[in-house]
């Protein structure tokens, strides 16, 4: 089975071809990603109108390049998957419309993929992890702890009540004068700094419910920075290091709570999985490695290229759904918000 996946939910235009071999093992035949970072850098964040125009200009080319790199023709594809949400609605519509057109022309199935499900199923693309497992989904727009019980079967254990982790990193970077995108810049500065210089809070630590709150920590960084203005380079590094250390502690504590509650929801987890753009942060990965060892579960963290938005995770989620007989018709709509666990309310930081 072979699926072409299209991702256009934010500021990457991506397409990929993923297939399974005779034994059902996944193979990424191609994965092409065109970043829009340069187009948005001057604004300090993603501008939806600019992003949508860039997707329009690039998506056909990215699809063609993914097919060429995979060495296949359009007729060789068994299904077309597109991220149908959540995300910036203009971009989402472009990717979904492209997949609809390809489905209509070829007569092959269309699969509308929840972008979050792409991240949720990534460990099965790279290591064939068995269900159920605990997922920490952490990115610029999402922070959720989810019990992944099967394809399309998700129970949200915790989420953020305000900022997502990646959003907090970006906002701290902006207040400290670091360039966009902010998250990687904070991590680089943190590597040079003293994480014990500033005593920052660990919001929600010790609470019995596995929710996050980052806005107070972000405010604390601003207050510490204002006390020592003007900031020297060493001050910025120390602030970043102290902030990142606080986030690592919070992530470990909140995930520990989720692991304790997981058994009542889904039994024994086969793994602890971290996915999404924030999963590329090595300090957070190391903190989760320590937690996994302490809890007696293995940590699965996808390769860095599969942490950020890409077409391969959308193609794989589409393939997983297609081989279960799940597909969509051409009336399926783009969705700016789309929770994985439909039984839960949408909170501000979950953005889904």
Sheet holding 110-114, edge to edge: 26-35, 12-20, 2-7, 79-85, 110-114
What's the distance, CA 314 to chain centroid? 12
Separation CA 330–CA 309 (nearest Å): 24
Q: Would you list which residues are annotated within the binding site for Fe cation? A: 115, 119, 309
Q: Would you list which residues are annotated within the binding site for substrate? A: 137-141, 170, 183, 187, 281
CB 243 within 8 A of CB 221: yes
DSSP-derived pairing of the beta strands 2-7 and 79-85 = parallel
Separation CA 290–CA 129 (nearest Å): 20
Q: Which residues contact 348 (CB under 8 A, 6 or more apart)?
A: 160, 161, 162
Surface-to-core class of residue 177, CB atoms within 10 Å of its CB (0-12 exposed, 13-18 middle, 19+ buried): exposed
How is 103-118 classified by DSSP, letter by letter? HHHHT--EEEEEHHHH
What's the distance, CA 337 to chain centroid? 14
**Is the bond leading into 53 cis (omega within 30 degrees of zero)?**
no
Q: Would you list which residues are annotated within the binding site? A: 115, 119, 137-141, 170, 183, 187, 281, 309
């Amino acid at each position: 089975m072979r699926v072409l996946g299209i991702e256009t939910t934010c500021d990457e235009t991506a397409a990929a071809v993923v297939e399974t071999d005779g034994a059902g093992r996944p193979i990424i035949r191609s994965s092409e990603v065109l970043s829009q970072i340069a187009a948005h850098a001057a604004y300090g964040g993603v501008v939806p109108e600019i992003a949508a125009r860039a997707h329009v200009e690039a998506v056909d080319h990215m699809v063609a390049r993914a097919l060429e790199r995979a060495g296949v023709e359009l007729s060789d594809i068994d299904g077309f998957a597109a991220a149908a949400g959540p995300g910036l609605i203009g971009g989402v519509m472009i990717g979904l419309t492209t997949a609809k057109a390809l489905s209509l022309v070829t007569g092959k199935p269309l699969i509308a993929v929840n972008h979050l499900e792409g991240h949720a199923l990534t460990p099965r693309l790279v290591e064939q992890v068995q269900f159920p497992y605990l997922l920490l989904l952490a990115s610029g727009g999402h922070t959720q702890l989810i019990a992944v019980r099967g394809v399309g079967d998700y129970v949200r254990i915790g989420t953020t009540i305000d900022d997502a982790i990646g959003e907090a990193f970006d906002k701290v970077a902006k207040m400290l004068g670091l360039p966009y995108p902010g998250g990687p810049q904070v991590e680089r500065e943190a590597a040079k700094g003293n994480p014990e210089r500033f005593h920052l809070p660990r919001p929600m630590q010790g609470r019995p419910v596995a929710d996050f709150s980052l806005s107070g920590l972000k405010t604390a960084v601003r207050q510490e920075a204002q006390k020592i203005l003007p900031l020297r380079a060493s001050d910025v590094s120390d602030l970043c290091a102290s902030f990142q250390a606080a986030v690592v502690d919070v992530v470990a504590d909140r995930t520990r709570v989720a692991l304790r509650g997981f058994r009542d929801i889904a039994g024994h987890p086969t793994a602890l999985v971290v996915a999404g753009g924030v999963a590329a942060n090595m300090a957070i990965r190391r903190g989760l490695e320590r937690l996994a060892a302490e809890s007696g579960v293995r940590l699965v963290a996808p390769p860095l290229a599969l942490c950020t938005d890409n077409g391969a995770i959308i193609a794989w989620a589409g393939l997983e759904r297609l081989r279960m007989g799940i597909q969509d018709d051409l009336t399926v709509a783009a969705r700016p918000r789309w929770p994985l666990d439909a039984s839960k309310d949408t909170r501000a930081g979950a953005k889904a």
